Amino acid sequence: MKRNWDIIREILTHLEELPNTDSMLELSDFPEDRAFEYAYHVELLIEAGLVEGQMAGTLGGGPADFFARRLTWPGHEFLDSIRSDTVWSKTKRTFTSKGIDMTFDLVKSVASEISVALIRGATGV
């Protein structure tokens, strides 16, 4: 399965919006017909250390559920770099126009550069 950066951003955003530390994000919070896709991406985020959570699988390998409790510090930092819809759109367009695959480090770097350019443009610096 290919990594879907829009799903990653959606999961991180939903997790950040949880009302308190007792709340958890679960598989049932996402479309049932795309359960495997969301579970796969949560597992990637846990493996990458961006999300604190736990996976529950089935013997057949499909997702049974997941429980995501919170973003880690790197998870917050990454989401901060891609949160803005404007920055996110420009970041994706940059990769598409250059024909470059989106990797974690490149996404964060490009999004940061776009943010700086937007800030400089807005402030004239």
pLDDT tens, position by position, 21-33: 889 999 999 998 9
What was the pLDDT predicted at 63? 64
In sequence order, what DSSP letters do the residues of 66-107 get, joined into one string?
A: EEEEEE-HHHHHHHHHH-SHHHHHHHHHHHHHHT----HHHH
CATH of 5-72, picked from 1.10.10, 1.10.1760, 1.10.238, 3.60.21, is 1.10.10
- 12 pLDDT above the threshold of 60: yes
Label residue 62 by pLDDT band (50, 70, 90). low
Is residue 122 predicted with pLDDT exceeding 80?
A: no
Structure confidence at residue 56 (pLDDT): 85
Domain spans of the chain, in order of start: 5-72, 84-123
